[in-house]
Every structure is written in C-alpha cells, then in structure tokens.
Amino acid sequence: MKLSAFTDVCLRTIMVLATPGTGQLTSREISESVGVPYNHVAKAVLELRTLGILQVTRGRNGGAMLTGAALESSLGGLLRKLDKRTDIVDCSDHDAQSNCPLAGNCRLRAVFRQAREAFYASLDALKIRDICPTSPAAPFTALPFPTVRDIS
C-alpha cells in the first residue's frame, strides 16, 4: 500500500517536532528541515492541529509543537484519519463519464478494502512515538519530496 504525499508530509512533520530538544518550530522551519514546500507543510500542520496532534501558537513567537497525548496516539488510527481515499482502486473510467463495465459483479474493491484495513490494523499496536527519533540528531538532511503524478 502506498501512502499519499500528504500523509508522508504529516509523518515527516511529526517526526521533526518529536526530535528531543526541538521544541516549537514554525512551518517554514519544518519545511526547510525536511525539504518539502512550505505550503504543503502548512496544510499538514493545519490538519494535524485539527486532529489534536499539534498545538499551534500564532504570532511573532508562534509555531507548532506536539500535544501531550500525540506520541501515545495509535499510528494506524492516525493514518486512517489522514487517508481521505475511499477506495484503492479507481472504478470509474478515466474520463469520469462512465463506470467500469465489471462494477456490478466485481469483488476486487472489497478485497482491496480488506487489505487496506489489514495494513492499518498491523499499525494499530504502534504508537506515534515508535517512529520518532529517540535522541537529538545532527541537523536534518532533507529527504526527497515525492513527486506528484501528472494525470493530464
């Protein structure tokens, strides 16, 4: 199963903020540390704040930091909330004018839904803290940002 680029940015944001000694960071500082465009990080910070993972302070001395309960949250539960896709398989025609001719007698969508749920269930036992750094690290080296496919 492939995570969306948005979910990837959210996880990177959490890991940066969870690094011991990091404290509060602005979206711009997070963006620079993980090599992701600022607008993507800003959107991730907003969503993570809505989900109760981040506490955000606005203004000159503002920034984002993890909430007290964030590190004890379920990784599988977080990924379920971040993944907005309803199905793994796109059963509409590419021009979105018609459905697949097999849609009435196809069981593939149900199989993939079960597989996705099994993927998340395997991550339910993990806490967010399990994917975060345990000691202060050297300055982050920016990871390559996943490219977005052009669907034109």
* % of the chain beyond a pLDDT of 70: 76
Q: What value does the mean pLDDT take over residues 75-84?
A: 92
The average pLDDT across 35-61 equals: 93
141 against 5, higher pLDDT: 5
Predicted local distance difference test score (pLDDT) of residue 3: 84
What is the total residue count of the chain?
152
The per-residue pLDDT for 8 is 92
The whole-number average pLDDT for the span 86-111 is 67
Angle 124-23-5 from CA coordinates, rounded to 5°: 45
- pLDDT at 44 > cutoff 70: yes
Identify the CATH assignment for 5-131 out of 1.10.10.10, 1.10.260.40, 1.10.357.10, 1.10.3720.10. 1.10.10.10
Spans of all domains in the chain: 5-131
| Per-residue pLDDT band at 133 (split at 50, 70, 90) | confident
Higher-confidence residue of 87 and 131: namely 131
In this structure, the dihedral spanned by the alpha carbons of residues 20, 123, 67 and 27, taken in order and rounded to 10 degrees, is 70
Instruction: Give me the torsion for CA of 115, 121, 127, 128, rounded to 10°.
Output: 30
Q: What is the pLDDT averaged over residues 111-140?
A: 84
